[in-house]
Structure 1
Amino acid sequence: MVTKNSVVETHDVESLKESDNISLTDSKLDNGSKGQLIKVAGQLRDRRNDLNQMASERASLRDELNAKTREKVDEAQKHREKRDELNEQVQEHKDKRNELNAEANELFDQVEEMKAELELDEGKNIEELEDEIEQLEFRQQTEVLSSEDERELIEKIEDKREQLQQKKQKVEDSGELDSLKEQAEEVRSEASQHHQKVTELADNAQEHHNQMIEAYREADDIRDEADAMHELFVEAQETADEHHEDFVRVQKRLRELDKQEEQEREDERTEEREAAKEEAEEIYQKFKEGETLDTEDLMKLQKTGLL
């Protein structure tokens, strides 16, 4: 959790000092002199302006942090999309690998079955059989045999020829065995290539997953900073608003005092006019009674319109 103090230190934000705030009590507002209130109004205005500037700077920092948060979230989302794309490829190669391994297993089973059927390693080889047949035929051609012995010799030759034919057929069939074995090994090799691709893609997907987690973590940290900065902004703005409200109250009070002073001056002027009129009427009465008026008295009569 990011605290406001850590945000102040990290972003070199000016701390809001309570001692710099201007306090306005009802007593000071109601009983302060005009000069005192003018001074307080100036202090409130200046502090309000400073606080508004502070709030504006904090709002800008907050907006920058929110923008960075969005950038990190976008970055994390891109890693998520790439991870998912790679995982899809992993699954495709896994399916293909499994399919090829199953095919290879089937082919290798066929190879083993064919090996068992051919039994290539059992009995005499072709060269030995051919030599034996040749010797038996030479004996048949060169020796004088009884009918019984010749028949047995002929049967033996036929038996050897049949064995030779079977052996040749097995050798011929073994070519198919080699081809089948080669095919099985090729399929297994292809399966191995897909397995290697699975490993590579899975490692790559894991890397994007890790980067996604890290980007989301950074986004959370920056968002915490932005939230803390917003609290600092609100603190400065609310304090600025309070000073503005007090400034408006002082201005209103000053206007009231101006009206009071104007009214007092108007009252004084009214009293002066009333006194002058009363004096002029007394002078006018003297004039009607035949008394002689001096210049000053005549001017007072003219001023009041009685002459």
Structure 2
Amino acid sequence: MVDESKNIELTEDDLENKSKGELIKMAGQLRDRRNELNQMASERASKRDDLNAKTREKVDEAQEHREQRDELNEQVQEHKEKRNELNAEANELFDRVEELKSDMELDEGKDLEELEEEIEQLEFKQQTEVLSSEEEQELIEKIESKREEYEERKQKLDQNEDLEELVEEAEEVRSEASKHHQKVTELADKAQEHHNQMIEAYREADEIRDEADEMHEKFVEAQEAADQHHEDFVRVQKRLRELDKKEEEERKSERDKKQEAAKEEAEEIYQKFKEGETLDTEDLMKLQKTGLL
């Protein structure tokens, strides 16, 4: 803020009633305070301009983050679309796998791993438990039945190469879709980082802009005070010129009066000279000065 206690106030009464010496002193004070305030305004304008430049830098930085975020979001959208297309394709392939299994009746009953585990459990029971002949025979028949079921299902699977190829293709497509999904996640995280950085840059820009606005207000305050002091300085200078002119007019009037008085005196002396009176040296010099001799 401007220290108003250092400002120089000029009133109409000052202009009208202060002496020339007092006005000259006041003019110097106004000039010095004006220069001081102009320097202050210049420094504040420089600080304001620096802050405005930093604001523009932050806005540019925010804009760069915005552009990078938008570019990444476009890539996210592209990978999403590709992922969805591949997932749809994989779903169709897996549906065809299920249809083939259904046609082969592979979707009914237990799969090979379950059958193999059951056979191992039955064989372990045969080897470790004490069974009657009837129980053992029953267990053997059960094991054989499971083995036949296992072989039958295994042969069906082995004989159908199309199913294996279809499963492999479906899994490859699903794997490719997963890669695009991973890319979506990575790019979305990066886009969010740039979004956060953009928000932070805009926040900093707003803070610096507020500082710049505050500094501009201080600049205006100092400049207006400087302008007022300059205006008052000019008013004092004008008044001093008026006083100088007045003094010059007074001096001229005084000179004119003296010249008129000297002329009248010379004319009286000249009249005496014409009348035959003797003139002294001083009288002769007065006549010479007025051009009468």
Q: Structure 1 length as normaliser, TM-score?
A: 0.79
Shift of 1:65: 0.8
1:183 maps to 2:183: no
Say whether 1:47 aligns with 2:45.
no
Matched letter for residue 211 of structure 1? Q
Distance in 2, matches of 1:97 and 1:40, equals 84
The 5 A counterparts of 1:56-135 are: 56-120=42-106
Q: Is 1:214 aligned with 2:221?
A: no
Distance 1:241 1:168 in 2: 102
Match of 1:267 in 2: 253
Does the CA contact (< 8 Å) of 1:97 and 1:194 recur in 2? yes
Name the stretch that deviates more: 224-233 or 78-87.
224-233
Q: What one-letter code is carried by the residue in structure 2 that aligns with 1:71?
A: E
**CA shift at 1:167, angstroms?**
8.2
Q: Which amino acid aligns with 1:218?
A: E
Check conservation: 1:45, 1:243, Cα contact below 8 A: yes
Quickly say closer, same or farther: Cα 1:227–1:299, change in 2 above 3 A. same
Amino acid at match of 1:102: A
The 1-side partners of 2:191 and 2:268 are apart by: 113
SS of residue paired to 1:291: coil
Q: From 219, 223, 228, give the equivalent of 1:233.
A: 219
- After superposition, the Cα gap between the structure-2 partners of 1:78 and 1:98, relative to the gap in structure 1 and judged at 3 Å, is same
Instruction: Please name the residue that 1:197 is paired with.
Output: 183
Which one-letter code corresponds to 1:41 in the other structure?
Answer: A
1:162-181 matches, cutoff 5 A: 170-171=156-157, 173-181=159-167
Q: Deviation at 1:103? A: 0.8
Aligned to 2:3: 17
Displacement, 1:119? 2.6
Distance 1:202 1:301, change over 3 A: same
TM-score, length-normalised on structure 2?
0.82
Say if 2:273 is the partner of 1:276.
no
| Amino acid aligned to 2:229 | H
Q: C-alpha separation between the residues in 1 aligned to 2:105 and 2:284? A: 161
For 1:291, the aligned partner's letter is E
CA distance in 2: counterparts of 1:63 and 1:168, whole angstroms: 83
Task: Answer whether contact 1:118 1:174 (CA < 8 A) is retained.
Answer: no
Q: Quick one: structure 1 residues 169 and 289, their matched pair in 2 at CA, closer, same or farther if it must change by over 3 Å?
A: same
Q: AA paired with 1:178?
A: E
Deviation at 1:223, TM superposition (A): 1.0
Tell me the CA shift for residue 201 of structure 1: 0.5
State the secondary structure of the residue aligned to 2:197.
helix
Which runs of 5 or more structure 2 residues have no equivalent in the other structure? 110-151
The 1:168/1:249 distance shift into structure 2, 3 A limit, reads: closer
The residue that corresponds to 1:302 in the other structure is: 288
CA distance in 1, matches of 2:52, 2:154: 83
SS at match of 2:9: coil
The amino acid across from 2:42 in the alignment is S
Structure-2 change in CA distance of 1:167 and 1:283 (3 Å): closer
- Paired residue type of 1:38: I
SS at match of 1:306: coil
Structure 1 residue 169, shift from structure 2 partner: 8.0
Between the aligned partners of 1:68 and 1:173, the Cα distance in structure 2 is 74
Shift of 1:85: 0.3
How far apart, CA to CA, are the structure 1 residues paired with 2:99 and 2:155? 17
**Percent sequence identity over aligned pairs:** 79
Deviation at 1:114, TM superposition (A): 1.1
Aligned AA (1:267): S
CA distance in 2, matches of 1:173, 1:75: 64
Q: Which residues of structure 1 form unaligned runs of 5+?
A: 1-14, 123-165
Rounded Cα–Cα distance in structure 2 between residues aligned with 1:173 and 1:109: 20
